[in-house]
């Protein structure tokens, strides 16, 4: 649901210009008032459905970063316009368009689901509104559809999956099955894994799918048991990931066939998954126990403020806040200086809890991907699977 905004900025400027024309001079008080106007941020994220918890963590992290910076930029406060996108691609362009044309937000921030983010990308490209993507990994957003006003603080779906291919092949694993929801994120993650695995000598013998957000895993687990692969690589997240790990254990596959994934499988869900998650290895650009002062402080502050442990989604939201702050500081809160605003974000060095990172030319993080293992209630970092990994940004002409 979106809050109504009583102050129409464009109407104000139209009236102010007319008054100035009559008076024969630009009025100083109107400029001062314009500077006092709030910076409008459109948060479009899932707050219901299987990705609801992810949307909340991103929102928490984002707001925390802005609060830590004092909440004011060039004297301007921020105002949030919040939409629950329900992870529903069919409502995505309408939702994003309402934030831009009705609420007149200065910046769009969102979302989690790859299909939904492509609706946001369309509106951002058409309207020129800056868009910061704090999760959704759709390759096209920083690939064929890349644009000067589109930035991502998370990953491409390819990015955390690709390194796991080499990790497994280097262990002598030859034959793998893949399993995912059949939508952009899952398909691209599997492609990434397959690319890394086959390049290193492995073979994907079967690709299994189910529709998003179905959790009817049973028939697929029966099929996997009959194939007897050396390993299964999956993409799932949120509640769907928890159900898969529990069903995997209940089907007697745990300890018999190795279950691996991009780290969304186990991130933010370890309490819910219980011992079904124990020992599962994944690759991701974050891990709970990264031993840096930045990560320790972030985790402490987040836990204090929200009475929750942070996860990768909270980190990506926090980094989206840090990126926006870098842009706002460069223009002293005046987002109408769009060229300088975007340039500052493009060259920002983000001092993230995951480790410092910079933007690729296509505006996607260049970042380390960690190998992690679930030990108790932690996604423990076992090492770096691939250092400073940049997405290939196929099709980006920028
Ligand atoms: C996606 O749809 O891009 C996505 C959703 C959850 C976790 C990771 C990626």
Q: State if residue 185 touches ligand 1 by the CB under 6 angstroms criterion.
A: yes
Q: State if residue 285 touches ligand 1 by the CB under 6 angstroms criterion.
A: no
Q: State if residue 112 touches ligand 1 by the CB under 6 angstroms criterion.
A: yes
What pLDDT is recorded for position 277? 98
CB 244 within 8 Å of CB 277 = no
pLDDT, tens digit, for every residue of 272-327? 999 999 999 999 999 998 999 999 999 999 999 999 999 999 999 999 999 999 99
Mean pLDDT within 65-74: 96
Q: State if residue 161 touches ligand 1 by the CB under 6 angstroms criterion.
A: no
What pLDDT is recorded for position 289? 87
pLDDT, tens digit, for every residue of 88-144? 999 999 999 999 999 999 999 999 999 999 999 999 999 999 999 999 999 999 999
CB 205 within 8 Å of CB 231 = no
Pocket test for ligand 1, best of 113, 242, 284, 285 (most atoms within 8 A of CB): 113
Domains of the chain: 39-155+290-363 (3.40.50.2300), 158-284 (3.40.50.2300)
What pLDDT is recorded for position 34? 58
What strands, in cross-sheet order, belong to the sheet with 72-73?
72-73, 76-84, 39-45, 107-109, 131-133, 150-152
Q: State if residue 264 touches ligand 1 by the CB under 6 angstroms criterion.
A: yes
What pLDDT is recorded for position 337? 97
Flag whether the pTM goes above 0.85. Answer: yes
Q: How far, CA to CA in Å, does 368 sit from each of 310, 325, 385, 388?
A: 19, 23, 8, 5
**Cβ of 345: how many Cβ atoms within 10 Å?**
24
310, exposed or middle or buried, with CB in 10 Å at 0-12, 13-18, 19+? buried
φ, ψ for residue 394, nearest 5 deg? -60, 130
The partner residues of 41 in beta bridges, in order of sequence, read 80, 107
User: How many angstroms is it from 137 CA to the middle of ligand 1?
Assistant: 6
Q: State if residue 237 touches ligand 1 by the CB under 6 angstroms criterion.
A: yes
User: How many angstroms is it from 331 CA to the middle of ligand 1?
Assistant: 32
Q: State if residue 312 touches ligand 1 by the CB under 6 angstroms criterion.
A: no
């Amino acid at each position: 649901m979106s809050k109504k905004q009583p102050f129409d900025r464009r109407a104000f400027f139209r009236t102010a210009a007319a008054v100035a024309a009559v008076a024969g001079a630009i009025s100083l008080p109107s400029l001062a008032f314009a500077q006092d106007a709030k910076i409008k941020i459109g948060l479009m994220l899932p707050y219901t459905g299987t990705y609801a918890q992810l949307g909340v963590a991103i929102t928490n992290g984002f707001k925390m970063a802005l609060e830590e910076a004092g909440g004011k930029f060039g004297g301007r406060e921020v105002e949030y316009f919040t939409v629950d996108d329900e992870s529903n691609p069919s409502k995505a362009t309408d939702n994003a368009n309402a934030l831009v044309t009705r609420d007149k937000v200065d910046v769009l921030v969102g979302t989690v689901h790859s299909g939904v983010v492509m609706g946001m990308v369309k509106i951002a490209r058409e309207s020129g509104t800056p868009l910061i993507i704090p999760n959704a990994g759709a390759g096209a957003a920083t690939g064929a559809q890349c644009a000067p006003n589109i930035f991502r603080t998370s990953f491409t779906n390819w990015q955390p999956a690709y390194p796991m291919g080499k990790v497994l092949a280097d262990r002598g694993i030859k034959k793998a099955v893949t399993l995912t929801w059949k939508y952009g994120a899952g398909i691209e993650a599997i492609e990434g894994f397959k690319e890394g695995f086959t390049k290193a000598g492995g073979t994907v013998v079967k690709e299994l799918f189910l529709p998003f957000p179905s959790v009817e895993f049973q028939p697929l687990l029966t099929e996997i048991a009959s194939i007897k692969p050396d390993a299964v690589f999956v993409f799932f997240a949120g509640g769907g990931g928890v159900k898969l790990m529990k069903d995997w254990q209940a089907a007697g596959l745990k300890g018999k066939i190795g279950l691996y994934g991009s780290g969304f499988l186990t991130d933010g869900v370890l309490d819910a998954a219980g011992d079904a998650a124990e020992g599962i290895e994944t690759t991701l650009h974050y891990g709970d126990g990264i031993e840096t002062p930045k990560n320790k402080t972030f985790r402490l502050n987040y836990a204090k403020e929200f009475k929750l442990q942070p996860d990768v989604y909270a980190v990506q939201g926090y980094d989206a806040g840090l990126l926006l702050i870098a842009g706002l500081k460069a223009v002293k809160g005046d987002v109408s200086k769009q060229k300088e605003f975007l340039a500052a974000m493009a060259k920002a060095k983000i001092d993230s809890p995951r480790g410092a990172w910079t933007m690729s030319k296509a505006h996607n993080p260049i970042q380390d991907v960690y190998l992690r293992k679930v030990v108790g209630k932690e996604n423990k970092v076992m090492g770096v699977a691939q250092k400073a990994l940049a997405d290939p940004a196929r099709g980006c002409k920028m």
